[in-house]
Amino acid sequence: MHDLQLAAGGRLRHLITLAGMPRATIERLLERAEAMRHDSQGGARPLDLLEGRTLINLFFEPSTRTRTSFDLAAQRLGALVINFDIERSSTVKGESLLDTIHTLEAMHCDAFVVRHKESGTPETIARNLRSNAAVLNAGDGNHAHPTQGLLDALTLRRRVEDFSKLSIVICGDIRHSRVARSDVDVLRTLGVRDLRLCAPPELLPQSDAAEFAQCSFVHTLDQAIIGCDAAIMLRLQKERMEAAAIPSEADYFARYGLDAARLARAKPGCVVMHPGPINRNVEIADEVADGAQSLILEQVSNGVFARMAVLAELLERR
Ligand code: NCD
């Protein structure tokens, strides 16, 4: 993958995964995201770094946060953005994915932001391009969601000095979660040692899954959250589960839902994160989602800055 993603000199060519990404690259992107926050004064002041560049959002799965924030990030850097409407495109007439990509490339564009239910689709596109366009993975199957990993790291980094001292639990549908995989990749690289995965057995990955090596697997949230500095809650991804793999929602909430009583078992001030969309009272109680320890909307705000940083790194003219 690294031959594909990193050019000579360590410059990013595409963004497909955070697995194996050098710590220096991750830290550079996080610094840049902070600079974007500063330069845009936390808001909508446009910068012109990407003037004349064109980005195409290609979302084959639904999205609220990721798509909108890529759109805003690119526009705030001065790029032109096309939100490709798959439902009304020739995809429904049977045009293949690569024919669609080559068609869009023929109109000249600089970047494709791709979300797809099949793991590996952004990589396949990147390997088959006919132009110098960059591919940004906006979530592929259960494989990776690199900009989510970066924005989660950015959100935590504002609160903590030393990642190596943190205890973090990731709880929920880990088996189907690309967010869990990208979070584990980035948090490990930044030095987190105590990473706990918590889910019902049917939603945990295989205990020998290489991408979760060195994480501990804990079966109850009551246990897993003890002494934690951060709890990252995940959505039950019903669209990726075969029927019957899940306990009832009420049952799930009783055992794995984060409510105030469970949160009290963590360290005082433990922060609560969730990539969204949240299923209220399935994986997280209202009192926690909307409570003082919740960083859920801060994550959303940081998503724009993280994506501005990535887009600048990939598309800025040098
Ligand atoms: C997630 C996704 O689509 O991977 N959402 C997001 O991008 N913030 C998580 C989810 O759908 O549960």
In this predicted structure, the answer to whether residue 37 has a pLDDT above a threshold of 80 is: yes
Is the bond leading into 122 cis (omega within 30 degrees of zero)?
Answer: no
Contact (Cβ atoms closer than 8 angstroms) between residue 262 and residue 220: no
Q: Is the CB of 299 under 6 A from ligand 1?
A: no
- As a whole number of angstroms, the distance between CA 148 and CA 66 comes to 8
Which range, 137-141, 247-251, 314-318, has the best average confidence (pLDDT)? 137-141
Ligand 1 pocket residue status of 57, Cβ below 6 Å: no
SS3 content of the chain, % helix, strand, coil (to 5): 45, 15, 40
In ligand 1, the atom with minimum distance to the C-alpha of 303 is 8
> Could you tell me whether strands 194-198 and 216-218 are parallel, antiparallel, or unpaired per DSSP bridges?
parallel
Share of the chain above pLDDT 90, in %: 81
CA 301/CA 43 separation, integer angstroms: 9
For residue 72, the model assigns a pLDDT of 96
What is the reported pLDDT for 207? 72
Instruction: Find the range with the poorest average confidence among 5-9, 10-14, 53-57, 120-124.
Output: 5-9
275 C-beta closer than 6 A to ligand 1: yes
Task: Give the whole-angstrom CA distance, residue 11 versus residue 291.
Answer: 40
Q: Look up the pTM and report it.
A: 0.96
Q: Which residues contact 85 (CB under 8 A, 6 or more apart)?
A: none
Closest by CA to 314, choosing from 110, 108, 40, 88, is 110
Residue 244: is its pLDDT beyond 60?
A: no
Q: Set out the domains of the chain in order of their start, with CATH numbers.
A: 2-144+300-315 (3.40.50.1370), 146-297 (3.40.50.1370)
Does residue 145 have its Cβ closer than 6 Å to ligand 1?
yes
User: Is any atom of ligand 1 closer than 6 Å to the C-beta of 200?
Assistant: no
What's residue 243's pLDDT? 58
What ligand 1 atom has the least distance to the C-alpha of 179?
4
